[in-house]
Amino acid sequence: MKIRHGRITPFCLPLRRPLVTAHETLRVRDGFLLLLEVDDGRVGWGEASPLAGFGMESTEECRTTLERLTRHLLGRDVRELDALLDECGALAPAAPGARSAVDSALHDINARLAGASVASWLAARQSPGRVRQRIQVNALVSGMDECEVVEAARRDLANGFETFKLKVGGASLAHDLKRVLALRGTIESHHRMRVDANGAWSEEVATRALERLAQIGVEYVEQPVAATNLSAMARLRERALVPIAADESLRGEADAARLIERRAADLLVVKPAVAGGLRAAWRIAAAARDAGLEVVVTSSLDSAVAVASALQLAAALPGPLPACGLATSALLERDLASALPVQDGSLLLPNGPGLGVVPDAALLEKCASGPASELHA
Ligand SMILES: [Mg+2]
């Protein structure tokens, strides 16, 4: 089953409203949609939307690398998945975005050939076990001040969410703590709340923050200090005030091994789109589990295609899984496919084979930001 055609379409997805984190304000998401087609006409989809703040390749590098990797795959048998991914890893070690698109498209086709969802295919291939049909997700609560936080949290409550995440670190700790308390006071006592500092705090501020957050009651704090400061993360973790989650510190398998070895986190935030794809993300999750760490699977504010890919991984992972960060589609003004709806705080695994989500031609036309590259064997 040879790969005979690849198409790379650039797109630009505007956000409904700017997303403010500790180090940037995101207004649009630029990326590329990859289609791979095999001999019998079956296709697989992948997405590359490099995210600033994670040391990923630039948009330009991403396109060049995607074209190079796609040319490399033309004429190759899609069923040689591991060999193909190994080769792509060697060809483009510094382009995890492009690799994750290729990885997703190859998984999509292989699962379709087996008549299975990517989740079932992953679970059957690597760790026989049940696949989740419902994946609990967290709400990303927006709001710059207490009033906005309360308003946003009420909307999220009405949508059935039971886990809420608030971005902090963009203002003073005192201001953020007011926002955190406003959220805690709006949601119910059994609901979980997590905060994400995106690496903004110094160790000293993080220590004070964790002391207060421990009293308020949060599930975990994501990336309290800079991504490279594993020593500080390890010290904060050692104090056991609030569980520490690593996000920006985790860009791939090598980072995961380092975080585990340095005991720098209680929990790993696994983004397949950042890690280089589903295979790498699966391996990271397995290493974390072996070391007694929990994982949360999240999107990286990407289109419905990459969200579906991450959702398939979350559905396939064995063991307990805290609410995942996959309810991000509502933040986008436009998308490449109809977004999966959040029902009672969960996403349902789509019924279809492969990723279960296919880009919509009319939507893609509206989102395309330039001509597609067509590559043929
Ligand atoms: Mg984060």
CATH number reported for the structural domain that contains residue 103 in this entry: 3.30.390.10
The answer to whether residues 110 and 309 touch, using CB atoms and an 8 Å cutoff, is no
Q: How many whole angstroms from 162 Cα to the centroid of ligand 1?
A: 18
pLDDT category of residue 95 using cuts at 50, 70 and 90 = very high
In single-letter form, the type of residue at position 367 comes to C
Mean pLDDT, range 223-235, rounded to an integer? 98
167 plus 287 within the same structural domain: yes
Is 310 among the domain residues? yes
Cα angle at 77 between 107 and 3, to 5 degrees?
80
In single-letter form, the type of residue at position 220 comes to Y
Nearest to 271 by CA among 295, 294, 289: 295
Q: How many whole angstroms from 117 Cα to the centroid of ligand 1?
A: 28
340 plus 197 within the same structural domain: yes
By CB neighbour count within 10 A (0-12 exposed, 13-18 middle, 19+ buried), where does 261 fall? Answer: exposed
Mean pLDDT, range 336-347, rounded to an integer? 93
Catalytic position from the list 165, 167, 178, 366? 167
Q: How many whole angstroms from 18 Cα to the centroid of ligand 1?
A: 16
State yes or no: is 271 an active-site residue.
yes
Is 272 among the domain residues? yes
Cα angle at 270 between 266 and 272, to 5 degrees?
170
The domain that contains 305 carries what CATH number?
3.20.20.120
In single-letter form, the type of residue at position 256 comes to A
Predicted pLDDT of residue 374: 98
Q: How many whole angstroms from 62 Cα to the centroid of ligand 1?
A: 22
Q: Rounded mean pLDDT of the chain?
A: 95
Domain count within the chain: 2
Predicted pLDDT of residue 169: 93
pLDDT category of residue 166 using cuts at 50, 70 and 90 = very high
Q: Which residues contact 342 (CB under 8 A, 6 or more apart)?
A: 137, 159, 160, 161, 327, 330
Predicted pLDDT of residue 234: 98
pLDDT category of residue 128 using cuts at 50, 70 and 90 = low
Q: How many whole angstroms from 369 Cα to the centroid of ligand 1?
A: 27
272 plus 148 within the same structural domain: yes
Is 10 among the domain residues? yes
Q: Give percent above pLDDT 70 in the chain.
A: 98
pLDDT category of residue 186 using cuts at 50, 70 and 90 = very high
In tens, the pLDDT along 29-52 reads 999 999 999 999 999 999 999 987
Is 171 among the domain residues? yes
Catalytic position from the list 2, 165, 271, 366? 271
Q: How many whole angstroms from 110 Cα to the centroid of ligand 1?
A: 31
Mean pLDDT, range 144-149, rounded to an integer? 95
Predicted pLDDT of residue 17: 87
Instruction: Answer yes or no: is pLDDT of 265 > 70.
Output: yes
Domain that holds residue 22: 3-115+359-376
d(CA 245, CA 344): 25
45 plus 192 within the same structural domain: no
